[in-house]
Structure 1
């Protein structure tokens, strides 16, 4: 799960696949062999999908499909349109609800349900199944996992994989997706993970909040009330403070991008003029951002925006406003 700037992390097991051989490209014997393998791969995928509906075979099918989902073409439509398959995956999810509180989830149970979640991420990522996936309200089944507090590995893995499904939805800019998520509790749930999750979970959760803010309706939603702005701003501020002791360039990048987007709202920009963490202004992270020119530019633009916005200068095109200062205690 390497770089979140333009996408949600993908499993590393397929990231380093070697390029095809010249024979497979040129249509020689290797190409013919590869073409002959495709029907066998699809037949294998179809059989594994059928196995999901058999309780005795489901665990192995979950494991094999989650490991090989990148090499099975059109696996998402196959999963979505096969009779009983999504119901079987949801059955895997709800079966561990009793283990969430009190937190008694075992590593084996966590791995199994995370394999099911990996297949749902596949469905959430595919352009033909993303919107039907939303309309069926499947993401809501994942929210109990994001509402957990245990920091043990099984729960952390469960939260991270659940965030991966939501991240797959927001990765492609789609106002319908953002509109759906804003009708749910996704922002408070992401903020909770940003406060108490692992560095990787915090990064994915912040990426989701960033993508919501980058959509106009998401920015309007967060800045519509002082309470919403304060909830997001206070969590971002606490994360900046914690990064001074435990630096993470990739997490800092998404925090800065969230702040920059908030500064596009005039009222929020006035509030940020007074409440933006000093560590973003005094060069604390200069070394961390030394090799990341894009994030340095974002930070420079953020500081410019809040300076001009706080003075009500022409850069913002608005006069000074009370903004959201009152709820920041300013």
Structure 2
């Protein structure tokens, strides 16, 4: 019999059969819009406070909870640390001691020059094999522009790098391989990234050599990077570009999607959580892109702007943490783990 997760009036998520009669619906009192605060802060603790309910709704609904504001408290400050060739060693030296601490999760996001190989018919009509063939053709030919990396613990806390919790940090690596004048790209994607602040002249001039980061990234993975889980949002392309970074610019993806999934698991790590896939298992409508799903969850971007890799990896972390707190226990979370489809 079909099962689904349901949020009850006690704020608990339970697994019920479709055939069962559900209890009366609850209407959550919705205070002021949510401002992101990291777990462990007073604002975050307000999520655990009992909410006022009424049982006047005629049918069950899963409405987003909102964090209660705390008077006199400032929101936690999060900063994106931009990594270039000149500060690569300095930033890697900050990251490496964190790998064996409590920051066992890693959210990743990539920015790349769009797609140049596109389907000849609507995407929804493509088979899984055809979708993977397009992913492979694009990633094999194109170059990575940015990699966002957010390290966080099981409660969603980020590293503060000795600031005593005053400021928390995520990273954004900028790469120099992509040359706008020589390499193929989707013009509309390039113009869009420009509007979001990506400076292609600077990335070409000051960016990190992928060959300088790839071997170090392999060492980080062996040392424990993302050992509790690598988190993405609709992340098949993110993982594919991550493989290309790990193995060098001449690397070509496997010809088969199943082999690709095995390579990802053996290279990047055995546990992957994709927030878009997790949303499909939640008892409410969480369809849509990154910003849309974040809005439905009541999560606001804590730093940076959309379509910059550091900021998007942070938003992915925030969404994963919120979704995990609200809808999943350890067993149900394990059930949705896996390499996302293309």
When normalised by structure 2's length, the TM-score is: 0.27
Which structure has the greater CA radius of gyration?
1
Looking at both structures, which has the greater relative contact order when contacts are Cα pairs under 8 Å and sequence separation is at least 6? 2
Larger proportion of strand: 2
Tell me the TM-score normalized by structure 1: 0.28
Q: Report the structure, 1 or 2, having the larger helix content.
A: 1
